[in-house]
Amino acid sequence: MLKRVYDFIILFKEYAVLSALLILSLILMALGDNAQIRHIRSLATVAYGIVQNQLSFIPRYLALRGESDMLRRMNIDLADEVSRLRDARIENSRLRNLLGLKESLRYPLIAGKVVGKNLTLLRNTLTLNVGKLDGILPHMPVINEGGLLGVVSAVSDHYSVVRIVLNSDFRASAKIERSRVDGILAWDGESLLLTNVAKTLDVKIGDSLVTSDYSSTYPPNIRVGVVREVTQQTGSLFKRVAVSPGVDFITAEDVFVLLYSPDPERQELEQPPPQRSRR
């Protein structure tokens, strides 16, 4: 072991002598008390202070960087929590509206969820996650807190397809709630219209529209929407009444299917008599 130390010192003897002399000089400077030594010591102290002050930003920078990362993580967590609280508030409000709707209707309801949408066609539809095994049958009305969505057009065991009001095959008897003016609700591919409204009848922009008593498919007084535009058509006996639907079909998620079926006696009575063949 000593031989190795000796060999190391011999190999680096110049550096060893220099280091020893430097250490000896520093000891003498520290112990000495004459004017020159004090002057050198004060200069060394000032220089050390300047260097330390210049390098002190490094730990401050590292501390600030760590604090910035921590604040960034906290900001992300708080933003996520705010988003979840906002979603919970919206969901709570929507469920309260649905609960109020359920309590206001006198017909049994089946709750369903929209699992599919076709909203860019002439024959637009929604797909629900309830079907025949849940008690759903064709021709049952479908509503949510905004009003009438449409009617069930096809049913399987676990799913059902709804023909919404924005469907060219959809028809419903509706009326102006204020003036009791009746018409047929239909969609022409661009606008939802209340058709067969004579020019002399009282219809104004902003009037509320509900299903009428003349419908055999829908219960009366289900909200449909509001009158958006009333136009006098040249050369026609009828007004053009455009309606804004009460339901936002893009955001529709939770719905109710009304367990309401047309009265078979009324349907049979209102069926046109069969045509007799001429001989």
**Which range (6-15, 121-130, 164-173, 269-278) has the least confidence?**
269-278
4-61 pLDDT, tens per residue?
766 666 666 666 766 776 676 666 666 556 666 666 666 666 666 666 666 565 666 6
Domain ranges of the chain: 2-55, 109-261
* Nearest to 192, CA basis, from 217, 171, 213: 171
Instruction: Tell me how far apart the alpha carbons of residues 60 and 166 are, in angstroms, rounded to a whole number.
Output: 64
CATH of 109-261, one of 1.10.3720.10, 3.40.190.10, 2.40.10.340, 3.40.50.620: 2.40.10.340
Report yes or no: 105 and 211 within 8 Å, Cβ to Cβ.
Answer: no
Contact 171, 184 (CB under 8 A): yes
Average pLDDT over residues 260-268: 73
Lowest mean pLDDT among 89-93, 105-109, 148-152, 187-191: 89-93
pLDDT tens track for 182-231: 999 999 988 999 999 999 999 999 999 999 988 888 888 899 999 999 99
- How far is 228 from 242, CA to CA, in rounded Å? 5
pLDDT value, residue 236: 86
Helices and strands (H, E) in the chain, number of each type: 5, 12
- Separation of alpha carbons 193 and 186, rounded Å: 5
Average pLDDT (85-93) is 62
Nearest to 147 by CA among 249, 260, 216, 262: 249
pTM of the model: 0.62
